[in-house]
Structure 1
């Protein structure tokens, strides 16, 4: 199996990656690329463990019109793609009629046959996680049902065409963000690092695709409503210190409180208050561990006026007291 990556902004020749069948490998292989032209800065990290190949693209561009990546692959693959920042357009053979778009905070599962396709980045900041694997890996984790029951996949297979299992994309909820963060910031070494990364990739696949089963039975959410709630999720992340009431967030979204709570839970899988609490605990933990904040200081920075209330919420969610972080 071979991939050829040709970036419009990369220095030197195209990146060629060759793999054994089904991405099989007995060790952990990692690499990083950071030489770009055309006003692009950033990194591309690659991780190859048994049966999966991962690319994490983190770009900043001053000329988004010229930033494209062409990919040529000589075997069919599946791709779980997560857009953490920016917006990404994928077109087969540079044919605009085949273009699929994935916006910020969205992910999807692609089937891609042997083909040439082009990624076009349309934002000045892009963070995209790509997880490649084959049919055998998917079926070893999920069984054969997910492919047999997908009419899109069966049609694409017959016509030898790519397809997206979730056209509009699914929202990247807090659980998925945490898994991705754990995957990309793993601090273990040697065999433990390999085992940890493999377990996180399996967890990412299972959570991403089983979440869709519950979403599939829900009422379809309008694109406009998704965008509104996504903007509120951004607002929450950057304003954890504020008093984030349902009434205030609903007003910012342009919904009544009932609709806001319903749509938010449909998209992110948990009630808005649980989501806010989870973000606050995550941020406070980071402040304590990485920036030397006391528990009282950290709790104040994430919106708790009383440190005891933070301690109760922390213990309820994680099962131990925040004082354990200090040890």
Structure 2
């Protein structure tokens, strides 16, 4: 199995990745790419474990123009995508009649035949988790019923067309976000890390494809857009004091309505969700950017590092010092 990636943002030649059938491997391999063109900041990280190939895109472009990723693959695959930032479309090369889109805070499972296809990104910020696997792996985890009783999928497979399992994409709820961040911020090494990755990916796939979504049916579009705007604001101001009154005012709600709708959309009260985001950010700063415990705690809004340590231990069951590499 072979993939060829060529990005309008990557400063290099076409990237070629070769795999055994069904992405089989006995090892865990990880790579990180930082060689972007001028004006692009961030990284693309790859993880390959047995039967699964993962790409995490996390970068920002200085221009607002659309960017493309051209992919050529010689075997059909399934692609499970989780979009945190960066709306995009996927289509077969030069096929303008069958274009699928996926927006921020959504996920979907795509069947992608052996083909030349394009990802077109419409936002400057891209934060997308891409999980590739084959039909045999999906049936191993989900059984044959999931695919064999879907006539639309069977027809797309026969006609070698891209197909999305969920028509408009599914809501990326808090439970799935937690699993993704646990996967991305794993602090284990060696065989333990490999086993952890395998278990987390299995958990992520099973829950994403089985759990009925709790996306509120009575939430107005404009209310949801206001809450998503507030979530983006919170993420970019974690080092500041955040209070209900200020956030409610920015969202255009009274405090009671804001708290009710926020919990309805995100599954947690506002301050529990803020704590969740702060700890996620701190994990990244400590484990990937070599921040000290004190530096990370101040960066995510804790004036007292001890308070941060207590909150961290309460949520995750271990101390943040365990993230520091020897």
Q: Give the corresponding residue for 1:44.
A: 44
> CA contact under 8 A between 1:242 and 1:303: conserved in structure 2?
no
Structure 2 unmatched ranges of 5 or more = none
Q: Give the corresponding residue for 1:231.
A: 229
TM-score, length basis structure 2: 0.77
> CA contact under 8 A between 1:261 and 1:271: conserved in structure 2?
yes
What are the residue-to-residue correspondences of 1:118-137 with 2, within 5 Å? 118-137=118-137
Write the distance in 2 (CA, Å) between the matches of 1:152 and 1:266: 32
> CA contact under 8 A between 1:171 and 1:267: conserved in structure 2?
no
Where 2:214 maps in the other structure, the secondary structure is helix
1:68, distance to aligned residue in structure 2 (A): 1.3
1:41, distance to aligned residue in structure 2 (A): 4.2
**Could you say if the C-alpha distance between residues 322 and 229 of structure 1 is closer, same or farther in structure 2, counting changes exceeding 3 Å?**
same
Aligned length: 319
Deviations 1:57-115 (A, max 9, x none): 23332345363111112222111112233322222214344332323333222121222
Q: Give the corresponding residue for 2:276.
A: 278
**Could you say if the C-alpha distance between residues 273 and 23 of structure 1 is closer, same or farther in structure 2, counting changes exceeding 3 Å?**
same
> CA contact under 8 A between 2:230 and 2:247: conserved in structure 1?
yes
Write the distance in 1 (CA, Å) between the matches of 2:103 and 2:264: 18
Where 2:228 maps in the other structure, the secondary structure is helix
1:131, distance to aligned residue in structure 2 (A): 0.6
**Could you say if the C-alpha distance between residues 205 and 159 of structure 1 is closer, same or farther in structure 2, counting changes exceeding 3 Å?**
same
Q: Give the corresponding residue for 1:72.
A: 72
Structure 1 residue 252 corresponds to structure 2 residue 253: no
1:185, distance to aligned residue in structure 2 (A): 3.4
Moved more, 281-290 or 114-123: 281-290
TM-score, length basis structure 1: 0.77
Structure 1 unmatched ranges of 5 or more = none
Write the distance in 2 (CA, Å) between the matches of 1:265 and 1:165: 28
Where 2:294 maps in the other structure, the secondary structure is coil
**Could you say if the C-alpha distance between residues 59 and 140 of structure 1 is closer, same or farther in structure 2, counting changes exceeding 3 Å?**
same
1:18, distance to aligned residue in structure 2 (A): 1.9
Write the distance in 1 (CA, Å) between the matches of 2:321 and 2:186: 23
Q: CA RMSD in A?
A: 4.0
Q: Give the corresponding residue for 1:138.
A: 138
> CA contact under 8 A between 1:64 and 1:121: conserved in structure 2?
no
> CA contact under 8 A between 1:172 and 1:268: conserved in structure 2?
no
Structure 1 residue 108 corresponds to structure 2 residue 108: yes
> CA contact under 8 A between 2:49 and 2:194: conserved in structure 1?
yes
1:12, distance to aligned residue in structure 2 (A): 4.3
